[in-house]
Structure 1
């Protein structure tokens, strides 16, 4: 079993103590976000083939990585670094710090252990297409040799994402838009060429309508083949995506929605930062659940 930790929240940045406690206990409990019974995920070494960590800041998670390494469980890191302006992501670490953290993972575990996520691509008056071209090139140059893959996607205008972006735009005085397919394909082609120049493949996360752009491929964010390379042994898992077009391997996620207080206004996993802050402040590091029923 592959364990995802977590595309629903940033466990390494905010919930490292809870994660270490759950490793020691050998299990974590989860709330089904769509209703139904609560889950129990076995976290013993016999049950876990590997971890996929999703984060914007590994700095607070040294003890978590050390605990996983001590158990001999392989892991990969999906590390988001976009360098977007503060009105869009108010409290994430600087991209230079993110690059240094990714470089440290690659130094210790090899370049297959970390994937750079420049995700999502948000088109605003502050970040037009040429801003993305130039910023992507700067980050790709800094990450040359650190990773062999960069994953991107364009902003999906979910209802809560649209609401949060509208509020941020009104407050900070910018506009935002969704590009047409031709414009998206042109930008993707340029980013893919830049990525290739720096030794990376560009993959696209669950946007099959944009498949076929030269130099791109569909992403497998929970990637059994990558975990196998890191582990030095085969890790088998069937493909079982989370939505149409998703090619991720089957996994169990131990996170919870509406618990990440980073405050990125484009985030699909948070209805609003105030609610996420309340849940973060009420979090119990000794609890079975990252965020329990009714929290």
Structure 2
């Protein structure tokens, strides 16, 4: 009786279709359980879309830091056989006795001898070179902005090292970085606009939104928060009719919140341009704004 039951037992094999993170983890779990796993992937390598990501939500962890160990483990696991450049053509049979037809494209490289040196790339007859046949559209820029940028380039030079200085000057004089200035500067210096936007968003001193003639900075550090900075924020929003990070329609004031102004003994603190107001009460906000009529 015992021998009969043992003869009917089947270990079998499992095919996992898709070599993304879900497929890799499924293959590892099954292989660790003792199953023979065939991992089928249509592209030349496993990893899927996760290998293209920089960070993952919601922990903001490095994608490859999570994925790389699983890639190595899947490639080295004795119970996993990788079938890349392969597609399933058909499935027949029943549960436990499936027969699957798989079409695998030629590689021309012996995968068992591959060390990842990359020398095969030089001998590969296929070349996929990007082509951009679309003509570049002319940059539309206000004459005042164009004159300003040209003068700054004449002063600081046209080398890539002058980009930060030019952006700083434009930001100081115009109180923000207009989009057309970024496009014109990138075209003139032959620098991708994406790089200029990366610089503009990295440094807090730059802004792509027009700033007011006066910047109101309200401290919301620990001391100021305990002493009622939230009431001051609400009062400033009511008086200016804008939210934090916005500018009044007449471009008179811009409102921002900072974490510390270094004046904890004067909390709560409001800073307008370079002037500090300490121990501010909600009723004093309107009076402070009147100090800056223009």
TM-score by length of 1: 0.19
- Choose between structure 1 and 2 for higher RCO, CA contacts under 8 A separated by at least 6 residues: 1
Kindly indicate which of the two structures has a greater share of residues assigned to helix. 2
